[in-house]
Chain A
Amino acid sequence: MDTPETPDSELVSRTQAGDARAFDELVVRFSPRLYGLVYNMTASHEDTNDLLQDIFAKAYRSIKGFQGKSAFYTWMHTIAVNMTINFLKKRNRRRTMSLDDVDNGILSDPDFIKATSHGDPSQDANLVELQKKLNESMLKLSHEHRAVVTMFDIQGMPHAEIAKILKISEGTVRSRLFYAHRQLQNHLQEFMKN
C-alpha cells in the first residue's frame, strides 16, 4: 500500500496507466468522506453502501477521461453528488422516513456524548428525539438544498469548493444555504430554544 503522503494526482496517473492497486488506495482514501456525503443525503446506510459502490465503479470506468483540470477530490465529489441526486429522484419516496431514523450507534459514541452532553439529564434524554427530528427535517429539503447543507454544515467545506463541485456560483451556494437554514429553523424550533 502507498503511504498517505502519495498525492492523489500520482495515484490517478498510475490508475490511468492500468494500476488497479492505485485506485484501491483512492477508494480507501475517499470512501469515509464520500460515505458521509452520500449518507447525509440519503439518510440510509443500506442505500449509501450500494450507491458508494456504484460511484467508485463509475469513477474507475471514467478515470481515463479525467484530465486534471480540477482536483481529483472535486471530480469525485461531483460524481458522488450527481449520482446521489439521480438516485434520490428515482427512489420516489419508497419510504417517508429512513430506516436509519435513529442511529443507535451514535448514542454510545464517546465523541458524540462529549460534544452533546451538558450535564442536563432531560436534555440528554432528548438526543434520540433530536436526531430523529434532524433527519426528518433534512429529508424535507430538496435534493439540491440537502447537498449544499451536507457539504457546508456537516462536512465543513468552503463555499468555493461547493460551487466547483455543483458547478454553480458561490452566490447560489449562499442563497441555497440561507433558504435551507430557514426551512430547518422552522422544523427544529423547539430544539433551538434549549
Chain B
Amino acid sequence: MKKRLILQEITRTFEDGGIEITILDKLDLEVAEGELVAVMGPSGSGKSTFLSIAGALLEPTSGHVLLDGESITGKNKQELSDLRLKKIGFIFQSANLIPYLKVEEQLVLVSKLAGMEKAKATKRAKDLLDKMGLSHRRTAYPEKLSGGERQRVAIARALMNDPAVLFADEPTASLDASRGLDIVSMIAKQVKDQRKSAVMVTHDDRILPLCDRVLFLENGKLVEKKEAPQSTFHVV
C-alpha cells in the first residue's frame, strides 16, 4: 500500500538557557493511504512540534519528511507555502475559519490561492459541502454556525485542494462528545473514501475507536500501545 506521509528519523532540538533539549528524537512514522492515525501524549511531549514538522511549518533539526514521496527538506518559504496549500489539509482546534468569509468562500479561497478555475472551484466546494451535509449553510458566516458545523467546514476546506495528507490538531477540543464523534467519523470516512493519509493529534480518548492506529509520543518517539490511555500521564 502506498504511504503518503513518511517521517524518517526526525530529530528536533531546542536551545533553552544554554541547555539543548531534544523534543523529538529520531522519530519514525509512516501513514498509509486511507489510514487515520491518532497521536496522543501529555502536554509538553512535543505533539505541536511533531505536527508542525510533519505539516511543513517547522524544519526538523535532522531527518526527512516525505509527502507523496517528495521531500520537503531544503525548500524555501514560498515553496513550503505552496506545498502546504496543495499537499496538506489542516484542521485546527477551533475557530480556524476566516470570520468574514461565507462558508462557500472559505473553500473557494484555498482553491483560488492554488490557482483553480473559479467555476471548477465553486463546483468542488458545492460537492464537498454536500458531503458534509452543509449545503443549506453555504452562504452563512462562521459566527452563525454551531461548533460542529464549523469543524465540518474546516474539514471540507482541508479537502478542497485534494491534498495527500490531512492533519487535525485536536479537532474535537471545543465540541461535546457526540459532536466530537460525528466530526472524527466524518474525517475517517473522507480519509477512507479519498485515500488520504491522516494524522490526528488528540487528547480525547472517546474518539480513538474510530482511528486505525493510536500512537503515543513518549521521550521524543512514537510508540504503539494496546492498553488503556492512562499511559498518557507518563512524565516525559
A interacts with B = no
| A-to-B contact residues, CB < 8 Å | none
Residues of B within 8 A of A (CB): none
